[in-house]
A and B are shown apart, each in its own frame.
Chain A
Amino acid sequence: MEPGGFLLVIILMTSLVPGLVIFFLREQQFALRTFFNLGGAGLKLALIISLLVGVYRDGKTYSFTLNLLPGIDLVLAADALSLLFATLSAVLWLVTTIYAIGYLEHSPKRSRFFGFFSLCVSATVGIAFSGNLVTMLIFYEILTLATWPLVVHRGTPDSFRAGRIYLAYTLIGGAVLLAAVVWLTVLAGSQDFTAGGYLRDLYPEHEWALPLLFVMFVVGFGVKAALLPLHSWLPRAMVAPAPVSALLHAVAVVKAGAFGIVRVMNDVYGIQLAADMGMTLPLMGLAILTVLYGSVRALFTQDLKRRLAFSTVSQVSYIIIGVALAGPVGAVGGLVHLVHQGVMKITLFFCAGNFAETLGIHRIEEMRGVGRRMPWTMAAFTLGGLGMIGAPPMAGFITKWYLGMGALEVGQGWVIGVLLVSSLLNAAYFLPPILAGWFGRPQHHWSQDRFRDGLLETHWMLLLPTLAVAAMALGMGLLASLSISPLYWVTFIVEFEYGYEHIWRAVFEEVDP
């Protein structure tokens, strides 16, 4: 065990312990609950930043090992890829916690809500720091367990139906994943994630088992990543409160699935072996189908949150496309979208939550003229929407640019056509609400109108997080060439995986490798 390994455990504890304490707080203990929530979130972010500095500047490695069974360890490790996901989760957890405190003001069962919310974040960060498949499976299952109470939080028949469907999908996915992980462990032992994979030597001997296992992994992780045809839990889960949809269904849960697929591709099989097995092309095909299907469904959905959910189905598969392209530049595009999509989508969900909480807006046609009443939220919505379309200089543009470049690099130019069609579809479903919001004739009466007399257009705890994430989505695009950008970090990751020095030149022509 590395000396700094306990830092990883402490990072897990910064959300686990507050979560457990909050469960046992009484409803009225608002101040104490807020202290634990924000204290945990702030501490986690600070610790992860110190970890980032340690890994990047001082070249340290951190790992923690706990023996579970003979030959099988629980391994927490911080490598560049895990830090990408962990940082994303920690930043967005802090923002969403503030948002959720504002959003749930005066609603019942807040202790239960924040308890499970913190457990979810612990599970997500656990997935990020998992150093082998067994550990990832453990946290992946915990994420299922901790998310379900949030989906059914409102306690209505609708939310119970959504919860049942969510559980059915994710438990079955988890069971498939368990079988796959055990099987692989029997074949190859429980090995730590290794850049470039660790299964190459086994392939000739198990030439049918390894591809079958790959399919099982894609199914197991694909459920949460909402890959076609395993996606239909996601739009239904939108009955959950807005902060849940924002953090969990736009970021934590779906990203956990996508992150799992990335790990399996990069660090278990290795891109080269996955390509040799003939698995990358079918996976890319599935991802492309999901991108197009999600967009088309979004186009025909009038409920704002459901439209955003179908958009998530579509956008998360960009990550898969990028990795399945099996080239370094495409991988940069895919991985950077892990962050970009998260920030943009959380912006959009926060906006949807603001509209619903302030003016009771749930459907697209009700958004007409909302820009006059809530200009700041509408501006954030516009930034998020433009980002999803891929308009420069938003973060989404960076993603699509490198996905396109990556496709050319590996001689799959046709993928650019898919990206174009998808962007058109994105425009077709994001522009109408944006245009209606700014230029439509406002309704005479909103179905409700809260916070009208305040200084701000809505509660400050709702507005400020929204503006913060919108600014992030803009900044990640504008400042992509700076060394603090996600793009820079992703390039650092891909260098490990592919060992290509020239990746730096391909991505940052002006940066000296």
Chain B
Amino acid sequence: MPIAGLTGGLSWAALIVIVPLVGALLTGLWPRAGGWVALVVALLTLGTTLGGALHVWWQGPEIHALGGWEAPLGIALVLDGLAAFMLLLTSVVGLFVTLYALGYVGRQERSGRFWVLWLWLWAAMNALYLSGDVFNLYVTLELVVLASVALVALASGGPALVASMRYLLLSLLGSLAYLMGVALLYGAYGALDLITLAEQVTPGHLLMMVAALMTVGLMAKTALFPLHGWLAPGHGSAPAAASPILSALVVKVSFYLMLRLWLTLFPDLATPALGVLMGGLGGAAVIWGGIMAMAADRLKPFVAYSTVAQVGYLALFFPFMLAVPGGWRAVVFFAAAHACAKATVFMAAGTLQRAAGHDRMSELADVMRGRPISSFAMGIAGAGLVGLPFTGGFIAKWLLVETAIAGDVWPWAVVVVVGGLLAGAYVFRLLGPAFLAGRGSPGRPIAGIMEWSTLGMALVSIALGFAGAASLQLLDATVTGPGGL
């Protein structure tokens, strides 16, 4: 594994963090140009993450010591398959959300704040994906949380404020639990670097304590059942341009961290009983979220409950990690498929809400008929959530079911199939009204770019349906612990 200093010039990893960070500073200084800065940043970030991913693809994982100090002293940036995949996902979704936000935020009085927060959040997420030590991961995680809480609070009004406070408190509790885990690790092994730790940790009570603290903390941030209570009000009341970021990307960040820790530090702790427990919670989330979505009467909480359900599948990485070598890759691919579909649905929901002036599902039919582009995009994304071909969702569902059957843990296959049916039921509840008889009305005027960026995002979820093999190959280049799975 090559350990490169800064002497070779700034590598992709550093650029990936620096570009959005500089963007955030520029928008802070110059709020009126926020949109244009964000667009340039989005394009550049997509370019640099593509460069980073290609680098991993051709030359394997890279560990980059920031400041020239090597671990355990320096700060390590790890660019491997898993990180590159998540970065790429973030920049693709990020680009379309930025385009959408150009239309949505427009020249509102507070638009500058949105751009600063969004680019700041983007930089923090990128830094988190690249961090290679547990303390750095904590810092970046806190940055992500603060930026996302502020994004929720941008929506004016009481409910948004209450929701963002609840989100903040739960997230802080989660961070605290995680931080205690970090402290225990440092006390026992005197190291923070993931790879160094992975070589030293031995299974025992201490490590189990650490694993429990960190996992529960991250579960709360991922909104994994039963710690999901904050998600629906938070994502439901956030501004339309922020909801897709939160639901598609931010919950995946803490999931990524959980996965990373289990792959490197705790693989020896994974037991079948733990797999059943975590998978069971995931299954409960799938059912509960589905039922709540069926019962929701407003569009955005409806979509948020669908996220609660779909996050449940992420928990399947516990049983899969044990069952099949590399079984976790199915879950990561699912996370990507969900991100694309969910971003689309939230973007379309925001458009419909603005056009209709409300988001009561029973009264949206006219606007849905009057805005065929958004409805069409929502249809594609809905197919992705159900797992119908040719979307990334289909490939993801295939991989999940295949992993469950190949690993001889077929009850999880049943969970995935039944969850897909439940998703079918609520997605068609969402789309059905668009086919009611009568004329549609486009409602209030909407910037065209909002609709077209939504359609573009939907087309990405179709493209993902053809990127299964490449994604898995990229994910193969992931740095795992000595007992790597």
Contact = CB atoms under 8 A, between A and B. Distances in A.
Interface of A: 23-24, 66-70, 72, 108, 137-139, 141-142, 144-145, 148-149, 152-156, 160, 163-164, 167, 171-172, 175, 178-179, 182-183, 185-186
A175 B417 contact: yes
A296 B372 CA distance: 44
28 contacts: A23-B376, A24-B372, A66-B466, A69-B395, A69-B399, A70-B469, A72-B398, A138-B389, A138-B394, A139-B389, A142-B388, A145-B383, A152-B432, A153-B435, A155-B437, A160-B432, A163-B432, A164-B428, A167-B424, A171-B386, A175-B420, A175-B421, A178-B398, A178-B417, A179-B417, A182-B398, A185-B402, A186-B406
Given A23-B376, A69-B398, A182-B413, 14 more contacts: A68-B466, A69-B469, A138-B389, A141-B388, A141-B389, A142-B389, A152-B435, A171-B424, A172-B421, A175-B417, A175-B418, A178-B420, A182-B402, A186-B405
Query: What does DSSP make chain B's interface, helix, strand, loop or mixed?
Result: helix
A449 to B, nearest CB: 26
B99 interface: no
Contacts of A185: 402
A32 B386 CA distance: 34
A69 B472 contact: yes
A184 B139 CA distance: 47
A178 B397 contact: yes
Contacts of B424: 167, 171
Nearest to A170: B424
Contacts of B439: 108
A163 B399 CA distance: 29
A293 B437 CA distance: 35
Max count, chain B CB within 10 A of own CB: residue among A24, A155, A178, A182: A182
Contact of A145 (B388, B413, B418, B435): B388
A163 B424 CA distance: 13
Given A69-B395, A69-B468, A142 B436 contact: no
Contacts of B437: 154-156
Contacts of A172: 421
A70 B402 contact: no
Interface in B387-430: 388-390, 394-395, 397-399, 401-402, 405-406, 413, 417-418, 420-421, 424, 428
A172 B420 CA distance: 10
Nearest to A187: B405
A179 B466 contact: no
Interface of B: 372, 376, 383, 386, 388-390, 394-395, 397-399, 401-402, 405-406, 413, 417-418, 420-421, 424, 428, 432, 435-439, 465-466, 468-469, 472-473
A154 B438 CA distance: 10
B413 A155 contact: no
A175 B425 CA distance: 13
Nearest to B333: A69
A463 B417 CA distance: 46
B71 to A, nearest CB: 33
Contacts of B401: 178-179, 182
A153 to B, nearest CB: 7
A152 B428 CA distance: 12
A24 to B, nearest CB: 8
Closest 9 pairs (CB-CB, A-B): A155-B437, A138-B389, A69-B468, A182-B401, A171-B424, A175-B417, A152-B435, A186-B406, A155-B436
B428 to A, nearest CB: 6
A67 B397 CA distance: 17
Contacts of B390: 138, 142
Contacts of A182: 398, 401-402, 405, 413
A179 B412 CA distance: 11
Nearest to B428: A167
A179 B439 CA distance: 40
Contacts of B465: 68
B263 to A, nearest CB: 20
B421 A171 contact: yes
A113 B401 CA distance: 34
Contacts of B398: 69, 72, 178, 182
Nearest to B468: A69
Nearest to A182: B401
Contacts of A149: 435
B479 to A, nearest CB: 21
B454 to A, nearest CB: 15
B435 to A, nearest CB: 5
A182 B399 CA distance: 9
Max count, chain B CB within 10 A of own CB: residue among A23, A167, A175: A175
Contacts of A153: 435
A108 to B, nearest CB: 8
A164 B473 CA distance: 40
A185 B418 CA distance: 20
A379 B402 CA distance: 54
B402 A186 contact: yes
A164 B427 CA distance: 12
A182 B412 CA distance: 13
A466 B442 CA distance: 40
